[in-house]
Structure 1
Amino acid sequence: MNILQPTNPRKSDVRQSSKVKGSNYKVFQVFLIFLLAVSCASKEEEQQRPNILYIMTDDHTQQALHAYGHGLLDKVYFPNMNRLAKEGALFKNSFVTNSICAPSRAVLLTGKYSHLNGKIDNVTPFNWDQATYPKILQASGYETALIGKIHLEGKPQGYKYSLTLPGQGNYYNPEFIKNGEEELKFEGHCEALIPQFVIDWLDKDWDRSKPFAINYHTKAPHRNWMPEEKYLTLYEDQKFPFPKNFFDDYTGRGTAAREQEMEIVNDMYWGWDMKFEKNPFTGNESRLPAPFKRMSKEQMDAWNSVYGSPNKAFLDNKPMGEELAKFMYHRYLRDYLKVIKSVDDGIGRVLDYLEKQGLLENTIIIYTSDQGFYLGEHGWYDKRFMYEQSLSTPLLVRYPKEIQAGTVVEGMVLNLDHAPTILDYAGIPKPADMQGESWRQLAAGKPFPKRDAIYYHYYEYPGPHNVKRHYGVRTDRYKLIHFYHDVDEWEMYDLQTDPDEMNNIYNDPDYSQIQEMLHKRLRELRKQYGDSNELSQQFIDQIK
């Protein structure tokens, strides 16, 4: 048919043309309807994809969270964290693969063990060019943001927006790095600022045609525990009992437990940790002075009004022995809990915002920490060891569409599993090199194969706190640890009869079959995850 219309068409041509036009119009209508349906379906599908709020604190331990019921801190209650436990799932057996800050964050992002993602300790660089779950979410249509502490050098990748603390960051009047480039300084306390930055991004910058995925990372309760002004007096009138193994002499344990440098009484800094200008016993400046220079006069006056009198009383009396231990333990523990109170407030503010905006029910909220911490157990603070308090970490998850309120998950999970789980919730298959497994079915209370064992590997030695290199396996009842590098020592514990890990049973003949089973399982896990003595030696050589 001639597509050129005649100058003077005949009636029959006009009728034919009308028929063609009518036919084309109907086809066009059908096509429009199809496009509209597809568009609506895409928007509906996009709206149904859950938002993801991943909250990570730094050094928050299970025994400092009332929902875990450890009993040490019965008088301390964090309502917003406990709300997440009541309205969602609490994972009783949540563990990390390498109990130290930066490597733990690298495991979160990549879903791979430290020896594969390359971030074995706080010193070695992190390769941002490798695949991470935020990159995958962003490529699939999520609006991504990183706000708070990341503790990984380099420009963050996989985020539309980032506002991060440089390194460890500061509690008072902190600097932040915007999008990996521009440094900005803010007045105030970082645990009041960070949640407000989260809300601001949601309120002003988030493209609401897409689901969001936010990494909301706090500084607290990382050392040096500088409380907000409004909480300086909180818990000051409360007395806490020593953990029953606070005065541990490490009898029966190996070299690692005896030679560590993380004891509250012997290794804390009088300035940085205890908030004195000088060492009360020598009169010398503390190795790390109290970080008061960042504070305004008003902030410093508020600080002195609370800490000045107890510090003067201490200097007048200079207690020794158990009284010295009691003072240092309480100064540490109270400050640690005060900064967690600020974190809990921030979580509450973000939850309130999501609820007011009608976003709460379609948002998966994951609360965890980069590892656990010692609150005087074995006389310690800090982390690193494969003993329970630093190996375990809180994990609370709220998502009412799938998770029944008050769910308690007994199965063992790892921070290795968070990346594949988040991708699972987003409807995205995990990459083949991600070693973790999704815990989504566990959280939903559905039948799911449970892990029979987890694998752990710590590398940062020689280094801060002098904790020797070690790797090991933990089952639901037993634990086997190998300390290596400049020693060759094994420890084994029955967590059912010895939950405080005071009695090394490695050479106990009554446990010989258990020891054999654990060695076999350890070899299997090392093979499964691609770890070996040769790789460990490569890392040793690399650090040298």
Structure 2
Amino acid sequence: MKKFSLLFFVSIFLIGCEMSSKKKVADVSAKRPNILFIMSDDHAYQAISAYDTSLIRTPNIDRIAKEGMLFTNASVTNSICAPSRATILTGKHTHINGKIDNLTPFDTSQVTFPQLFQKAGYQTAMFGKLHFGNSPKGVDEFMIVPGQGRYINPDFITTEGDTIQKMGYATDIITDLSLEWLDKKRDTTKPFMMMYLHKAPHRPWWPKAEKFKRWSKKEIPEPTSLFDDYSNRGTAAHTAEMNILEHMLMSYDCKVYPEVLEEMGIETDPRNERLFNGVEMSRLTPEQLKEYKPILDSITADFKEHWPGMTEKQKMQWKYQRYMQDYLASIESVDDNVGRVLDYLEEKKLAENTLVVYTSDQGFYLGEHGWFDKRFMYQESFKTPLLIRWPNKITPGISNDEMVQNLDFAQTFLEAAGISAPNDMQGKSLMPLLTGNDDNWGRESVYYHYYEYPAEHAVKRHYGIATKKYKLIHFYYDVDEWELYDLTKDPDEMNNVYYDSEYSDIRERLKVDLKELRKKYKDSEELDTRFIEQYKEGQ
């Protein structure tokens, strides 16, 4: 009897120890927040109703702002896809991490923040569009699209290194994969860091069929600068090749059948074949084609009926409508799916301990200045949406106008998780702003540098400094031109005041500040020259 009692009490003691150990593991993981990083590709802040309600309603993305913080002065360091992503992962400017443009290789010796999370005991995952490299470091499980990825029946590269095809619409599939991981593959004894990365709304803005049909009948309001003639701007604005009327492709972008263009002798750009005979249409199943064909027929019929008799102004307006209908339809699917993920966090009681971020890899032109695409340091390209929710840490429903950048994301996530950031990271943790300590922020200006020229869209190389009130830009390589904008008086950046004597003191002060920023971030004329020489050698 005594022996039985001893065994019984030992068993109870061991069970109690085991339960206590499990509770400690659970308690430790509960104290460290989960990180959910949501990023879409080319999602302009103007197309999020938390910023502007004139184009679209995005109730699910808006939830993040209503329950957290909306940043109104968030920007990027280099407004182009792969370099922006490299900056986010490393917390370093592109001239440091090596990814100065979409073609230059990323320096794989760079430490990324997922590696640091993984080392600190977080479970890490990535689903969707990375845009460079096929094996992201520090990620336990991933399924990423090759390169730009495809909207319809997309391919995915897996953790095992193979490529598989998933049937359906990319925005839905990326969400399905993310939810499947959260629900079935997540280690509940560990906090997680998941990157949920949408391909949409990147060009060619290919919507889901039912949204394509509905949005193709909508009329979208035009921006006031749609017919900008770039007067009082320098060479760069005049020579950029992103004008909707002149440079947007009729088939690839506007979805008019290429054979109809050939019949009408209107546009023979070979890139038009990419959408209908390569990039997207060739991937459709017969059932999917049946859904899309009536919409495409309708677009082409409208084009054939009206285009020949249109004025140049009317042609610009027609192409603008086609562009925005597809772009906004693609975003509506993103919003729907963000809602699915936020709902899941609520249902599984994960929301309270999860820091949620929604952003884009940069801004985008939605007809402002007559443009599409990005690349410039002008506002619509330079600024990026940033919404962050963190229950019990961030006061719900507030906005912040401090100068923050995608350079800051890595250090913010690391500090939130209690992980030390490497000394060579160049950003600044947003934690003081998230917790209401704005007085401890201390940043008055940010630095920008764009390199991809000569290249698609022909936006000249430039670097610059931006404050809340002013922006100074230097265009170089085959020009040597400066532009200065008063963002208070001229928020649309229509009037370069660099040569205005009224701004001479501001101009000279900003030049000094710009020089100091270049020094601070280890950028220089020597590096500019080196990158130019590398470009010429690679031609």
Q: Give me the TM-score of the superposition, normalised by structure 1.
A: 0.91
SS at match of 2:114: helix
- Structure 2 gaps of 5+ residues are 1-5, 7-11
Q: Deviations 1:36-63 (Å, cap 9, x if unpaired)? A: 8677445412222111100000000111
User: Secondary structure at the residue paired with 1:465?
Assistant: coil
Listed one character per residue, the Cα deviations across residues 164-223 of structure 1 (whole Å, up to 9, x for unaligned) are 000000000110000161100011110110000001111121111101100100000100
CA contact under 8 A between 2:216 and 2:326: conserved in structure 1? no
1:301 and 2:290 correspond: yes
Structural mapping, 1:111-190, within 5 Å:
111-179=91-159, 181-190=161-170
Sequence identity of aligned pairs in percent? 48
Contact 1:480 1:493 (C-alpha < 8 Å) held by counterparts: yes
Establish whether residue 438 from structure 1 lines up as the match of residue 429 from structure 2.
yes
- Per-residue deviation, 1:32: 11
Aligned residues: 517
* Structure 2 Cα separation of the partners of residues 90 and 216 of structure 1: 19
Conserved in 2, the CA contact under 8 Å of 1:411 and 1:450?
A: no
CA distance in 2, matches of 1:284, 1:302: 27
Change (3 A) 1:285 1:304: farther
Cα distance change on mapping 1:467 and 1:30 into 2, 3 Å: same
1:100 to 2:80 alignment? yes
* Residue identity opposite 1:328 in structure 2: K
SS at match of 2:301: helix
One-letter code aligned to 1:287? R
- Shifted more, 357-366 versus 307-316: the winner is 307-316
2:385 pairs with 1:401? no
Contact 1:72/1:243 (CA < 8 Å) preserved in 2?
A: no
Task: Determine whether 1:329 maps to 2:313.
Answer: no
Instruction: Kindly provide the amino acid, as one letter, of the partner of residue 102 in structure 1.
Output: A
1:523 to 512, 515, 520: 515
Partner of 2:9: none
| 1: CA distance, partners of 2:289 / 2:20 | 62
3-state DSSP of counterpart to 2:238: helix
TM-superposed CA distance for 1:233, in Å, is 2.1
After the TM superposition, which residues 350-499 of structure 1 pair with which residues of structure 2 at under 5 Å, given as runs? 350-447=341-438, 448-499=440-491
Match of 2:505 in 1: 513
CA distance in 2, matches of 1:540, 1:32: 67
Checking the alignment, whether the CA contact within 8 Å between 1:386 and 1:456 is kept in structure 2 is yes
Asked whether the 8 Å contact 2:256–2:299 carries over to 1, the reply is no
Instruction: Assess if the C-alpha contact under 8 Å between 1:155 and 1:180 holds in 2.
Output: no
The answer to whether the aligner puts 1:316 opposite 2:305 as a matched pair is yes
Are the counterparts in 2 of residues 277 and 285 from structure 1 also a CA contact under 8 Å?
no
1:282 equivalent to 2:250? Answer no
Q: Does 1:55 align with 2:46?
A: no
Residue identity opposite 2:163 in structure 1: E
Please tell me whether the aligned partners of residues 98 and 456 of structure 1 are also in contact (alpha carbons under 8 angstroms).
yes
Is the partner of 1:156 in helix, strand or coil? coil
RMSD after superposition? 2.1
Q: TM-score, with normalisation over the residues of structure 2?
A: 0.92
CA drift of 1:252 comes to: 1.2
In the TM superposition, what is the alpha-carbon distance from 1:241 to its structure 2 partner? 2.6
Q: Greater share of helix residues, 1 or 2?
A: 2
Q: Distance in 1 between matches of 2:15 and 2:508?
A: 69
List alignment gaps of at least 5 residues for structure 1: 1-21, 23-28
CA offset digits 1:338-383 (Å, max 9, x no partner): 1111111111111111111111111110000000000000100000
Which position in structure 2 is the counterpart of 1:202? Answer: 182
Distance 1:30 1:190 in 2: 52
